[in-house]
Amino acid sequence: MSGSGKRKRDDGEEAEMEAIVWQTPANPPEPRDYIFRNGRRYVRPYYFEFISHAKKRWAGKTIVDLFAEEFKGRSYDYYVSAVKCGRIRVDDKMVHTSYVVQSSQKISHFLHRHEPPVLAGDVLVLQNEADILTVYKPASVPVHPCGQYRKNTVVGILQAEHGLAPLYPVHRLDRLVSGLLIFAKSADKADFLRQQVEARLLQKEYIAKVIGVFPEKEVVIDANICYNAREGRSFVEINGSCIDKAFKGKTACTKFTRINTNGKYSLVSCKLVTGRTHQAIL
């Protein structure tokens, strides 16, 4: 009985993975959006509505020409197909491919989203106060919607599984890093806490597990970091120059102190003197 029951649940999960739903920014993440399998958290595929309002320079263009000229990442034929099947709409209505856009009209583009999976670890709520929330972020989960991630984020999971929204990140952790996160429950409180971080009244400390015996004495690393925002990647300067010549490095200082070692691995305290993008994982 238990074996056949397990098979039915797996079949149901397959059906859920294949089912595609239509969503707008007003649709919050829900528990049923997630599927857990083999230690990973998946999101059911969905079409998400990206909304814009027609600028003055868009007026007088056909809907297809507008998209082909303004959003060159997709082919002309794609936009023709998207208009015909209703993935591109004007004022929430289907239109024909020769439809002429007018200024200020609402234009919707429903794009297929198939979010990458993340590890299935829980986002643990550690302290829930009137205006501040402290949680544990597992590795592999982004803090907030970005790139391909919207629901598979700390913010999305907290909204779906704990009903906590809106939340305002006070600081961030890189996707691959686990640790404590502080959220404010209002924009004003978030601004106040961010000012404390910038004034160094609040400090962040990372714990890293490294291979080998780390030196007993404190190690200080000063290495400029170059950040490519377009690609979301960072580089360390080598011999005073960045790997990507188009980007100029910013000073980054990190202090490392060994906590303990077993001869094979070491636990190391990493204190960021500066706070550059991706400094924690470089």
Q: Is residue 55 part of a domain?
A: yes
Q: Is residue 20 part of a domain?
A: yes
Across all residues in the chain, what is the average pLDDT? 86
Q: Is residue 7 part of a domain?
A: no
**Residue 34 and residue 134 in one domain:** yes
- Given the residues 92, 174, 222, 244, select the one marked as catalytic: 174
**Residue 213 and residue 276 in one domain:** yes
pLDDT value of position 16: 42
Residue 268: give the domain boundaries. 205-281
**Residue 19 and residue 52 in one domain:** no
- Out of 177, 198, 219, a domain closes at 198
Q: What is the CATH number of the domain that holds 74?
A: 3.10.290.10
**Residue 123 and residue 231 in one domain:** no
- Predicted confidence (pLDDT) at residue 226 exceeds the cutoff of 80: no
**Residue 169 and residue 88 in one domain:** no
User: Residue for token digits 């691995």?
Assistant: 265
Q: What is the CATH number of the domain that holds 166?
A: 3.30.70.580
Q: Is residue 2 part of a domain?
A: no
Residue of 31 and 248 predicted with greater confidence: 31
Measured distance CA(14)–CA(144) in Å, rounded: 27
Work out the pLDDT band at 234, boundaries 50, 70, 90. confident
**Residue 122 and residue 227 in one domain:** no
**Residue 59 and residue 19 in one domain:** no
Q: What is the DSSP string of 225-280?
A: EEEETTTTEEEE-BTTB-SSTTS--B--EEEEEEEEE-SSEEEEEEEESS--TTGG
**Residue 223 and residue 100 in one domain:** no
Work out the pLDDT band at 201, boundaries 50, 70, 90. confident
Cβ neighbours for 172, distance < 8 A, ≥ 6 positions apart: 143, 144, 181
**Residue 77 and residue 107 in one domain:** yes
The reply to whether 174 belongs to the active site is yes
- Predicted confidence (pLDDT) at residue 11 exceeds the cutoff of 60: no
- Provide the number of structural domains found in the chain: 3
**Residue 109 and residue 210 in one domain:** no
Q: Is residue 270 part of a domain?
A: yes
Instruction: Confirm whether pTM is higher than 0.85.
Output: no
Q: Are 242 and 250 in contact (CB under 8 A)?
A: no
Q: Is residue 99 part of a domain?
A: yes
pLDDT value of position 21: 65
Other C-beta atoms closer than 10 Å to the C-beta of 121 total 16
